[in-house]
Structure 1
Amino acid sequence: MAVIPDIPANSGTKVFADIIFTLFGLGFILIPLYLIGLVVYNVYFHPLSQYPGPKFMAATRIPYMRMILSGRYPQKTKALHQQYGDVVRIAPDELSFTNGEAWKPIYGTRTGHSQKPKDYRFYAPTFGGNPSIIVSNDADHSRFRRLLSHAFSDSSLRGQEPIIKNYVDLLMQRLHENILDGKNAVDMVAWYNFTTFDIIGDLAFGESFDCLKNSEYHPWISILFSSLKYAAYTNVARRLPGSKYLVPLITPKKIVSRRNTHLALTEEKVKGRITKSNERPDFFGNILKHNNTEKGFSFPELITNGSTLIIAGSETTATLLSGVTYLLLRNPLVLAKLQDEIRSAFTKEEEITLESCNKLEYCLAVLTETLRMYPPVAVGLPRIVDAQGDMIAGNWVPGGTIVSVSQLSASHSPANFKDPEKFIPERHMDDPRFANDSKTAMQPFSFGPRNCIGRNLAYVEMRIILARMVFNFDMELDQPEQDWTDQECFVLWDKPKLMVRLKPRHTV
């Protein structure tokens, strides 16, 4: 009779434990080897390995993520271009360009190439995942743009001029009330934000936010910037495995809470606008006429687009006005020339209108130069190259590569502009000194089918407000030694206070 050896009761457990231990041991060895191999591949064998840039940025996307969260993305990208040239590898699969010839292949349309899709990881998720004019496929974008374009047409702008003028009148009134003959300083960032926020509230939702009326920020303004910071955190989280769970884990609760409040307030305003007349000369008038058709907006789409209009329609214009004020006061010869143009063109304030401001050539050049020096959207907006690859500014780029033109880098590149760090409006007035400037490199409102729909409105507001400021006041910086433009940026600039001493001009 055979003897069956005794098998310890825990032997199965021991075998299982040995297997787990072995797997962990292999993982402990293989995972580092895989990561090392990936880094070596990215740096030396990746299809983008021929492109210049820091090796540590080619190796892994971690430096890119840190750059985004630091709020110094545009400045650091600018420094990289100054070191490496007009095309820089800023991540294993991403290139940044500054050559003006890159705008069309990246953002435009051409025969044989479809419009390059956006890298949507760069943008914050929209309300309920519903599309907006910024975050949408081509069909939805075309529908949104078609319905919104009416509100930004020349005829609509003329109809909106009385609305805009009322708020600019109130801005001038409040500034005169809050200054003591130039002996106290006012924060012009706040006053410009009050004005543009009130205007966008009226034009989008049919009612002001009463910032100018109350001479204080609406609580909404204080939370707007959190939406932009939210985009920075989601940009990082969505590039990692398990992004669905990482977004709420890595994003500060305060930022998430403020963004949710912003969306709730937007929803409330949209509901209020729906009850008003569709004949108002505002953004939603034409949209609401088609609201119950297939061509119209759904209610969630009204919210996502309303949210976009509030931020894009107020913050960018206030940013540019703050920037032009600072740059003028740092460049007294430019300010004197602008003062001469405006104060000689008008004998009384009522003469300053949309039409008359269009004739101020130097004023336009000053604003254009400010857009170059201090672009409100300073970062590159990423697109993804077609599967078949593409030629971009003389460089072959393989399919799937993320590409962009860095606004700040392109506008400050010595390859594109003579004396790029100097504020010289004459470069936009055919001054022969700047005949070799690459004007195409500067696209502050972006390029192609998805360029900024609100460009004309922005110019109307900027021209009228700047002309009225220069006509009414002599200005000087309260703290001229500080570099006000040294700011963090989360797509838009996080602006500190701009304290300016205003002295009323005594006109006859």
Structure 2
Amino acid sequence: MIPQWIALCATCFVFGVCVRRRYFSSVSDIPGPFLASFSKLWQLYHVWDGHTEAATLKAHEKYGKFVRISHREVSVSDPEAIKALLVAPLRKATWYQIFNLPDRRYVNQMGELDPKRHIQKQRNVASGYAFSNVIQAEPYIDALVGKLEAQFDAYTKAGKEINFDHWFNFFGFDVVGEVTFSRAFGFIEQGKDIGGAVANTQFLALYIAVIGHYYWLHDILLANPLINYFNLAPSNHIFDTALAAVDARKRNPDARKDMIEQWLQTRRTHPDRMEEKELLAGAVVNVGAGADTISTTLQSFFYHLLRNPEAMAKVRAEIDASARMGELSDVPSYAETQKLPYFQACIKETYRHFPPVAFGLPRVAPKEGVTIAGRHFAEGTILSVNSHVIHKNKEIFGQDADKFNPDRWLDQERWRAMDKYFMTFGAGYNQCPGRHLAHLEVSKVTATLLRDFDIEQVNPGQSWTFKAKFTAVPYGWPCRVKRRS
């Protein structure tokens, strides 16, 4: 039994810490949920609940443009914050370190906190992510789209339901394989979660969302040398997959000028600025982040169109008209899809209405502090901007900002005005490097499936639910597909 005096001292200490955090912090005047005023419990609760983005939006509606979401972090909804926090070269919060998988030896651009070092790492891998390089893989992505359609046909003939969350994840993983390593992993062909990759990624998303707040625990848990030695961590699956793929890629005589080749060329040209392990770290980021986010976006696209029959009719009419005029290939090319204005408006609205990342993007106030909307924040304050919150701003996106409405993007002048505050792919130096590949994938898959299949929910009107905690991944709405005549 713990002596009573020790228990009393511990209780007094915890109480004192809570009082100091709540009432004597530089952000004590910022309103927010009670738990957030002295701990990270509010954030952790909503991570577990699976609706961080909805909870943050609701908190801003209640408390205003500044909301204290932990004892050290303030969420900011003022659009000025995009420029002040994300475009400005501010240091990222320590939470980002959790992306250095399997441990701190492999620091990738996502897990790099220092903006200068991040920009250097980004420069090293930029050639692989450049649109001019990504577009070279289009014929191979076309082949994967064809295999996806063949699987859908097989399910149709067998009268089976299709779970989009499974198949779009399979597609995302295989595209990562083709673009990064010149070889798909085989998820679509086998029609299953090979080696538990999807399940591991989804577990890892929960781990990242929680342990990122307590990074010191990472060295005890998944980054523990014993855990890695016995290959027990789900992150090891991603690391081992990338390591094996990199090794196979080096021995592949038919390899293309894929991302790995671009990075190898950078390393050969600048061995002093790019280490071998940095190349592997980049591959790990692709494998770990390249499927879930694409799956989320593709699901969101069809989910919202199925709930907006007018928008579905308009986008399908546009695609059908283009197909009748012979302007679409068997698998529509990226260039062809860019000539479909309403279709692109639907994609843009999907990006806006349901960004795949549920969290805010935290930055640390510098030595001189930072001022946003007239409020000065002292050095060390963590300030975050949540894309779900910004994208629901009615002053920017209209009074129907909480609705799915592709028409808002049809006026080019208005498009440009809204685009300044568009942050699905982040903003500033930490903007998602894979945004070109992501848009190519989304454009090709959605155009092909809309043209070729009728899609309906097994249970019409059923809402989606969530199973991932970092990326807001929907699931639980099985569909039926049928070839259009």
Opposite residue 333 of structure 2, the aligned amino acid is T
Which SS does the other structure have where 2:329 is aligned? helix
User: Could you tell me whether the CA contact under 8 Å between 2:30 and 2:67 is conserved in 1?
Assistant: yes
For 2:161, the equivalent position in structure 1 comes to: 185
For 1:13, the equivalent position in structure 2 comes to: none
Opposite residue 429 of structure 1, the aligned amino acid is L
CA distance in 1, matches of 2:275, 2:223: 27
Which SS does the other structure have where 1:179 is aligned? helix
Relative to 1, partners in 2 of residues 1:426 and 1:295: Cα closer, same or farther, differing over 3 Å?
farther
For 2:386, the equivalent position in structure 1 comes to: 406
Match of 1:214 among 183, 190, 193: 190
Report deviation, 1:128.
3.6
Match of 1:454 among 415, 431, 434: 434
CA distance in 2, matches of 1:278, 1:505: 37
The 5 Å alignment of 1:130-279 reads: 130-136=106-112, 137-180=114-157, 184-219=160-195, 220-238=197-215, 244-245=219-220, 257-276=233-252
Does 1:56 find its partner at 2:35? Answer: yes
The 5 Å alignment of 1:371-382 reads: 371-382=351-362
Report deviation, 1:279.
6.9
Does 1:106 find its partner at 2:80? Answer: no
User: Could you tell me whether the CA contact under 8 Å between 2:39 and 2:70 is conserved in 1?
Assistant: yes
Does 1:341 find its partner at 2:341? Answer: no
User: Could you tell me whether the CA contact under 8 Å between 1:72 and 1:489 is conserved in 2?
Assistant: no
Relative to 1, partners in 2 of residues 1:324 and 1:385: Cα closer, same or farther, differing over 3 Å?
same
For 1:3, the equivalent position in structure 2 comes to: none
User: Could you tell me whether the CA contact under 8 Å between 1:288 and 1:296 is conserved in 2?
Assistant: no
For 2:373, the equivalent position in structure 1 comes to: 393
1:15-37 CA-to-partner distances (Å, cap 9, x unmatched) read: xxxxx98xx84x55554444333
User: Could you tell me whether the CA contact under 8 Å between 1:383 and 1:402 is conserved in 2?
Assistant: yes
CA distance in 2, matches of 1:356, 1:264: 37
Match of 2:279 among 258, 277, 302: 302
Report deviation, 1:330.
1.1
For 1:364, the equivalent position in structure 2 comes to: 344
% same residue: 24
CA distance in 2, matches of 1:189, 1:246: 29
For 1:11, the equivalent position in structure 2 comes to: none
For 1:469, the equivalent position in structure 2 comes to: 449
Relative to 1, partners in 2 of residues 1:143 and 1:279: Cα closer, same or farther, differing over 3 Å?
farther
Match of 1:323 among 285, 291, 300: 300
Query: Which segments of 5 or more consecutive residues in structure 2 lack a partner in the other structure?
Result: none
CA distance in 1, matches of 2:238, 2:221: 22
Relative to 1, partners in 2 of residues 1:85 and 1:415: Cα closer, same or farther, differing over 3 Å?
farther
CA distance in 1, matches of 2:160, 2:182: 35
Relative to 1, partners in 2 of residues 1:44 and 1:366: Cα closer, same or farther, differing over 3 Å?
same
Opposite residue 408 of structure 2, the aligned amino acid is R
RMSD: 3.0
Query: Which segments of 5 or more consecutive residues in structure 1 lack a partner in the other structure?
Result: 1-19, 110-114
For 1:127, the equivalent position in structure 2 comes to: 102
Relative to 1, partners in 2 of residues 1:157 and 1:64: Cα closer, same or farther, differing over 3 Å?
closer
For 2:411, the equivalent position in structure 1 comes to: 430
Report deviation, 1:384.
0.8
Relative to 1, partners in 2 of residues 1:453 and 1:245: Cα closer, same or farther, differing over 3 Å?
closer
Which of 1 and 2 has greater Rg? 1
Report deviation, 1:104.
1.2
Report deviation, 1:496.
2.1
Aligned residues: 472
For 1:355, the equivalent position in structure 2 comes to: 335
Opposite residue 422 of structure 2, the aligned amino acid is M
In the superposition, the TM-score normalised over structure 1's length comes to 0.85
CA distance in 2, matches of 1:285, 1:380: 34
